[in-house]
Amino acid sequence: MQSKWNLVWDNCLKIIKDNINIQSFKTWFEPIKPVALDNNVLTIQVPSQFFYEWLEEHYVTLLRKTIKRELGDDAKLEYRILMESNTQSTNPATVNYPNSRESSNYMNEMNMPGIFSTPMVKNPFVIPGLKKINVDSQLNPNYTFDNYVEGDCNRLARSAGMAVAKAPGGTAFNPLVLYGGVGLGKTHLVQAIGNFIKTANSNKSVLYVSSEKFTNQFVDYLKNNNVNDFIHFYQMIDVLILDDIQFFSGKTRTQDIFFHIFNHLHQSGKQLILTSDRAPKDLEGMEERLLSRFKWGLSADLQIPDFETRIAILKNKMHADGIEIPNDVVEFVAYNIKSNVRELEGVLISLLAQSSLTRQEINLELAKKTVMSFVKSVSKEISMETIQKTVCDFFEVPIDKLKEQTRKRHVVQARQLSMYFAKEYTNQSLKAIGSHFGGRDHSTVIHSCQAVRNLIDTDEEFKESVDELKKRIQLSI
């Protein structure tokens, strides 16, 4: 025979079902179990704290209205939350749902800690076969602290990383957010932290995941109506390393789910380590509440390594691979490849490959050729003359025309493009650039650059010409 609360809840479900989409219904309402009805207080059991928070955040109004409709104005709702399955002594928490007269400040009350009262019920969301210990960390064991060269550029990030590695969840650096441009060592450092923790604590589940993979997984689970498995999985992790969170920008649903996972882990003293290609404050399309969480811990940036550190990184890599390269070559490479450690390594690998293929020894000559193919402007700056000449050759316009007042279309285009490239490739001021075009003023240069950018965005053929010109200019040095 059906109990009274089952009947009431069944009626509620019918109303709820009509008001939300089927997928949300399956995800968030089907797993709910009504467990009691006393004094007009309906108690429903939800699988986790996370689940409760989600319902409160997204469905509180619907729930409140529905329950009042079924049970009258003085109806109350109580949640019973199943605690995580690994702590056997803990009982489910009960959270009181406020009654209607207090509903204006219900949100405050919901933040009160739960009351632990009812006996333990087995958590239905344990994924069969998925034990804590079995989580594959997805870490690459080659990234360690030992082969992460220290320099001024990474000192703070590295030492904060080390502190977290020694006491995950036990420092003020939670979350630890590491940010910096491409190829500056973010992934290496966070993986080193993960590997360190794994080695020191075999019982801790560490997980490295890119934000892209996290998002794709979430979408898959959503499609298959298994969001709870997804959540549950992430809630079991002791150290969550999420790489490249800028990928979340504009993805509100993913941010939403991550926000809750974040809260859960943080509250349980678990460690969160995040990376981003820019400072959290500069992340766009990110929910404010998520950004504010990032500020709870420490944000440390990775900067471009200085010359000495670049040499140290190259030597470290050579040492690891057991190769010898003359000092002048190492210095040449370190001097010319400035902004990106990945490129630095790329040149090294490319040098090795070329020397073994051509059986040529690695010398300065070979290094120059290799470096050339990696960077657009090797120490030598591209000159204004080079730019003007390349562009004018391309459009078959005499160089002198650039300085004249003529408004013929292809001359105007050549002039604007030359100014644009001058802005891109030289360090000259707008005024100085203008002076190379018959003394035009800086606002003309700004206007030209803007006109070129607009055309690049809207005119495919024009963009192709620009790409071709870029190549020619770079080759001309």
Instruction: Locate 27 and state its tokens.
Output: 């995800």
Nearer to Mg ion, 186 or 436 (CB): 186
Q: Which is nearer to Mg ion, 187 or 340 (CB)?
A: 187
If one asks whether residue 349 binds ligand ADP (CB under 6 A), the answer comes out as no
What's the Cα-to-Cα distance from 431 to each of 225, 400, 403, 438, rounded to whole Å?
Answer: 61, 19, 14, 11
Q: What tokens appear for 145 in the block? A: 């602290």
- The least distance separating ligand ADP from the CB of residue 277, rounded to whole angstroms, comes to 8
What is the Cα–Cα distance from 309 to 339, expressed in whole angstroms? Answer: 12
Residue with tokens 């109303």: 15
Which residues face 38 on adjacent strands? 41
Q: Which of residues 139-168 bind ligand ADP (CB under 6 A)?
A: 147-149, 154
> What minimum distance in Å lies between the beta carbon of 330 and ligand ADP?
14
**Binding residue for ligand ADP, selected from 76, 80, 186, 401, defined by CB under 6 A:** 186
| 276/336 with CB nearer Mg ion | 276
Give the CB-nearest residue to Mg ion: 187
Distance, CA of 232 to CA of 48 (rounded, Å): 8
Kindly state whether residue 187 participates in binding ligand ADP, applying the rule CB under 6 A: yes
Q: According to CB under 6 A, which one of 188, 204, 260, 310 is a site residue for ligand ADP? A: 188
- Residue 3 to residue 137: CA distance in whole angstroms: 45
Q: What are phi and psi of 40, to 5 degrees?
A: 65, 20
Stretch that binds ligand ADP, among 20-28, 341-349, 351-359, 423-431 (CB under 6 A): 341-349
User: Nearer to ligand ADP by C-beta: 82 or 192?
Assistant: 192
Write down the least CB distance from residue 97 to Mg ion, Å.
44
* Amino acid (1-letter code) at residue 290: L
* Nearer of residues 37 and 272 to ligand ADP, judged by Cβ: 272
C-beta of 255 vs 340, nearer to ligand ADP = 340
Which one of residues 69, 342, 453, 463 is an interface residue with ligand ADP (CB under 6 A)? 342
Q: Calculate ∠ Cα 440-444-446, nearest 5°.
A: 130
Q: Which two tokens stand for residue 382?
A: 């591209």
Widest distance between CA atoms in the chain: 97
Q: Which of 127-135, 165-173, 175-183, 412-420 is the region at the interface with ligand ADP (rule: CB under 6 A)?
A: 175-183
Q: Which of 333, 312, 344, 343 is nearest to 378 (CA)?
A: 333
The pair of structure tokens assigned to 411 is 């001359």
Residue with Cβ nearer ligand ADP (347 or 367) = 347
Contact of residue 173 among ligand ADP, Mg ion, none (CB under 5-8 Å per partner type) = none
364 binds ligand ADP (CB under 6 A): no
Among 34, 169, 185, 434, the residue binding ligand ADP under the rule CB under 6 A is 185
Taking the mean position of all CA atoms in its chain, how far away is CA 305?
Answer: 22
398 C-beta neighbours (distance < 10 Å), count: 10
| Per rule CB under 6 A, count of chain residues that contact ligand ADP | 17
Place of tokens 């990383």: 161
Q: What is the closest distance, in whole angstroms, from the C-beta atom of residue 338 to ligand ADP in the complex? A: 14
By DSSP bridging, strand 33-38 and strand 41-46 are antiparallel
**Residue 67: beta bridge partners?**
none
List binders of ligand ADP among 303-322 (CB under 6 A): 313, 316
Nearer Cβ to ligand ADP, position 147 or 225?
Answer: 147
- The H or E element containing residue 96 is strand 93-96
Residue 182's binding partner among ligand ADP, Mg ion, none (Cβ under 5 to 8 angstroms by kind) is ligand ADP
Whether the link from the prior residue into 175 is cis, omega within 30° of 0, is yes
| Interacting residues with Mg ion (CB under 5 A) | 186-187
Binding site for ligand ADP (CB under 6 A): 147-149, 154, 180, 182-188, 313, 316, 341-342, 345
